[in-house]
């Protein structure tokens, strides 16, 4: 075997300690009589994988006539650096046209680098002219580019125009739609992928599970879990973490814990955080603290999401003292700077405890500009504790951010009416009418046999509406027989004009 002529073969045959340093392979290749351009290209890739980027650039400059493979190897090596874009412009000036792997590396660079949206637009135009935008490799990278820049409909358009879609293409669009809150579309494409006999990847399965988690669609979670077991992805750390998150957000913490325990030996910090967040959603502070300590004992260093789970459970459980202590611990003991979300948890806990002035002080002195969630949380706390004047002040702050936020008007009006300040309630209603702000209708949903039925207030369009309200009347009668006299039955019959739309029409009911 001639190890000198083929660095890739040499890499396979050399001891492991030699593979770590491609300079040894380079030295041996220099002695080979077959030291041609293909070996240069392979060495550039090996140098980049060893993070010796300067060496890869020097080697490229020694190539007498670099071809598209040479340029693509170098551009890929520097895909996390602005140099990749500069190299691409130089390549075009030689002139050498890109192939789909070059395009894919450049879209990866546009995602990893800041302020590259318009460069990506230009790159898309070029790839369109060269008929590369619909190729599976470059098309998947383009889908990922639009998804990362929060342009899911553009990503979907690219996907729709691809004549051939492999598992990588589907994974890119399923994950991208889930990341952009297009949950139903993401699940629909997962079902389409399975019906077309396209294989799953750990990314497509985890992307579908992310959509399931945000929808809290329990039956869908169970079906995708079954698919993961059949394909063997249930033991994958990415899919396992997504399953924990899916079951947790669906309210089945015991199922989430079972999946976690089955994969505990391979779970990373993401899986631990997902399980803690599941317990936090239920207000189970003891389980969150216990998991936090066990995670640390196993050698995992808590991150921002770990502390967010802890602070969330203290907020949900109304443990304001613990929330203050853990926010301080986060900064002092672990050197982690809190995010706005961490401060929001503390502000919410203080508000629930009636410490409204302390909550407002933190909101106005924290190193972030308070967002609508902060002021809305404080507004709700003021209304709950009957502080009408402070509620008005919080409502004004909320309306400064969004003059059409219907919750600011309705919560403040409730606080004023509870204090008997009817003239101000009338003024609030008038302001709401003058600005043409309408209160968003109530919405609820239920999942039945893998389909989500959404009920909207004020409409009556579901095909089984009569059955639904016949059953509601029966339940009301049974409540009254037990001695309860609901004060809200008039409201129920009014809201009972509810629409029940099947938002999953045409979407997956099984895989």
- The tokens of 68 are what? 């598209």
Q: For position 190, what pLDDT does the model report?
A: 94
378 vs 31, residue with greater confidence = 378
**Strand 499-502 relative to strand 451-456, pairing:** antiparallel
The DSSP code sequence of 404-458 is T-HHHHHHHHHHHHHTT-HHHHHHHHHHHHHTT--PPPPEEEEEETTEEEEEETT
| pLDDT for position 7 | 38
Amino acid 253: pLDDT = 94
pLDDT, residue 442, reads 65
Closest CA to 378 of 403, 395, 400, 401: 395
User: Residue 84 above 60 pLDDT?
Assistant: yes
Contact 60, 70 (CB under 8 A): yes
**443-448/499-502 β-pairing:** unpaired
pLDDT at 34: 66
- DSSP H or E stretch at residue 501: strand 499-502
**Res. 270 pLDDT band, cuts 50 70 90:** very high
Closest listed residue to residue 265, CA positions, set 238, 237, 229, 230: 237
Higher pLDDT, 239 or 32: 239
Q: What is the pLDDT of residue 161?
A: 94
When pLDDT is averaged across residues 352-372 and rounded to a whole number, the result is: 93
Select from 422, 401, 405 the least CA-distant residue to 413. 422
The secondary structure of 108-152, three-state, reads HHHHHCCCCHHHHHHHHHHHHHCCCCCCHHHHHHHHHHHHHCCCH
- C-alpha dihedral sign at 300, 304, 305, 307: positive
DSSP assignment letter at 232: T
Tell me which long-range contacts 26-32 makes (C-beta under 8 A, separation of at least 24): 26/59, 28/3, 28/4, 29/4, 29/5, 31/4, 32/2, 32/4, 32/5
Tokens, residue 266: 């391979």
d(CA 389, CA 471): 43
- Read off the pLDDT of residues 276-332 as tens digits, 9 standing for 90 and up: 999 999 989 999 999 999 999 999 999 999 999 999 999 988 899 999 999 999 999
CA of 459: how far to CAs of 305, 462, 505, in Å?
40, 9, 19
Contacts 24+ apart (CB under 8 A), 383-388: 383/411, 383/412, 383/414, 383/415, 383/418, 384/352, 385/354, 385/356, 386/415, 386/418, 386/419, 387/356, 387/415, 388/415, 388/416, 388/418, 388/419, 388/421
In this predicted structure, the answer to whether residue 28 has a pLDDT above a threshold of 80 is no
Query: What's the mean per-residue pLDDT of the chain?
Result: 84
- List 500's β-bridge partners, or say none: 455
Q: Which two tokens stand for residue 293?
A: 């300590």
Q: What pLDDT is recorded for position 63?
A: 79
pLDDT on residue 33: 61
Q: pLDDT of 117-130, one tens digit each?
A: 999 999 999 999 99
Longest pairwise C-alpha distance within the chain:
97
Give residues with Cβ within 8 angstroms of 376, minimum separation 6. Answer: 398, 405, 407, 408, 411
Q: How far apart are CA 166 and CA 433, in angstroms?
A: 52
Q: What is the reported pLDDT for 61?
A: 79
* Count of CB atoms situated within 10 Å of the CB of 265: 8
What φ, ψ does residue 399 adopt, rounded to 5°?
Answer: -70, -25
pLDDT value at residue 264: 92
Instruction: Report the candidate in 147, 210, 157, 164 with the shortest Cα–Cα distance to residue 184.
Output: 210
Q: What is the pLDDT of residue 289?
A: 95
Q: What is the dihedral of CA 238, 242, 245, 250, to 10 degrees?
A: -170
Q: Which residue has the tokens 């027989």?
A: 481
Lowest mean pLDDT among 85-89, 109-113, 426-430: 426-430
Quick one: pLDDT band at residue 160, thresholds 50, 70, 90?
very high
Model confidence band, residue 414 (pLDDT cutoffs 50, 70, 90): confident
pLDDT of residue 452: 66
**Lowest-pLDDT choice from 324-333, 342-351, 421-430:** 421-430
Give the pLDDT band (50/70/90) at residue 481: confident
Cα torsion 250, 251, 255, 259 to 10°: value is 60
Q: Give the other-Cβ count within 10 Å of 196's Cβ.
A: 9
Q: For the purposes of burial, counting CB atoms within 10 Å of the CB of 443, is it exposed (0-12), middle (13-18) or buried (19 or more)?
A: exposed
User: By percentage, how much of the chain surpasses pLDDT 70?
Assistant: 85
For residues 226-244, average pLDDT: 94
- Percent of the chain past pLDDT 90, that is, above it, reads 58
95 vs 133: CA distance, rounded Å = 20
Q: How many Å apart are CA 251 and CA 280, to the nearest integer?
A: 11
């Amino acid at each position: 075997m001639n190890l000198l002529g083929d660095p890739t073969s040499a890499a396979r045959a050399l001891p492991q300690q030699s593979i770590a340093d491609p300079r040894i392979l380079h030295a041996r290749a220099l002695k080979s009589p077959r030291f041609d351009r293909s070996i240069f290209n392979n060495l550039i890739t090996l140098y980049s994988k060893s993070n010796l980027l300067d060496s890869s650039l020097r080697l490229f400059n020694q190539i007498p006539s670099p071809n598209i493979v040479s340029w693509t190897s170098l551009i890929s090596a520097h895909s996390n650096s602005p140099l990749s874009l500069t190299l691409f412009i130089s390549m075009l000036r030689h002139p050498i046209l890109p192939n789909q792997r070059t395009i894919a590396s450049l879209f990866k660079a546009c995602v990893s680098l800041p302020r590259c949206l318009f460069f990506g637009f230009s790159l898309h135009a070029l790839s369109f002219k060269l008929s590369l935008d619909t190729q599976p490799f470059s098309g998947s990278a383009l889908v990922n580019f639009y998804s990362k820049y929060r342009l899911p409909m553009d990503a979907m358009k690219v996907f729709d125009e691809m004549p051939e879609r492999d598992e990588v293409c589907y994974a890119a669009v399923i994950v991208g739609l889930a990341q952009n809150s297009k949950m139903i579309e993401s699940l629909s494409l997962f079902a389409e992928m399975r019906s077309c006999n396209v294989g799953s990847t750990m990314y497509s399965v985890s992307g579908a599970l992310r959509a399931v988690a945000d929808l809290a669609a329990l039956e869908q979670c169970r079906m995708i879990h079954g698919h993961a077991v059949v394909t063997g992805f249930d033991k994958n750390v990415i899919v396992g973490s997504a399953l924990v998150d899916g079951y947790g957000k669906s309210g089945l913490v015991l199922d989430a814990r079972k999946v976690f325990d089955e994969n505990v030996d391979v779970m990373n910090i993401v899986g631990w955080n997902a399980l803690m967040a599941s317990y936090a959603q239920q207000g189970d502070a003891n389980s969150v603290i216990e998991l936090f300590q066990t995670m640390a004992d196993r050698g995992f260093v808590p991150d921002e999401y770990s502390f967010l789970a802890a602070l969330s459970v203290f907020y949900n459980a109304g443990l304001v003292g613990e929330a203050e202590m853990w926010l301080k611990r986060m900064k002092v003991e672990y050197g982690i700077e809190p995010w706005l979300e961490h401060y929001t948890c503390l502000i919410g806990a203080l508000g629930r405890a009636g410490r409204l002035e302390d909550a407002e002080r933190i909101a106005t002195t924290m190193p972030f500009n308070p967002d609508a969630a902060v002021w809305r949380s404080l507004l709700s706390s003021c209304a709950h504790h009957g502080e009408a004047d402070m509620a008005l002040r919080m409502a004004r702050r909320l309306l400064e951010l969004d003059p059409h936020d219907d919750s600011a008007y309705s919560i403040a009006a409730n606080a004023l009416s509870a204090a008997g300040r009817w003239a101000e309630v009338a003024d609030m209603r008038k302001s709401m009418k003058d600005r043409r702000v309408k209160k968003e209708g109530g919405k609820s949903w239920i999942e039945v046999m893998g389909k989500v039925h959404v009920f909207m207030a004020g409409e009556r369009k579901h095909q089984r509406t009569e059955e639904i309200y016949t059953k509601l009347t029966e339940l009301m009668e049974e409540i009254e027989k037990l001695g309860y006299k609901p004060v809200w039955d008039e409201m129920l019959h009014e809201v009972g004009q509810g629409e029940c739309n099947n938002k999953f029409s045409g979407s997956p009911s099984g895989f």
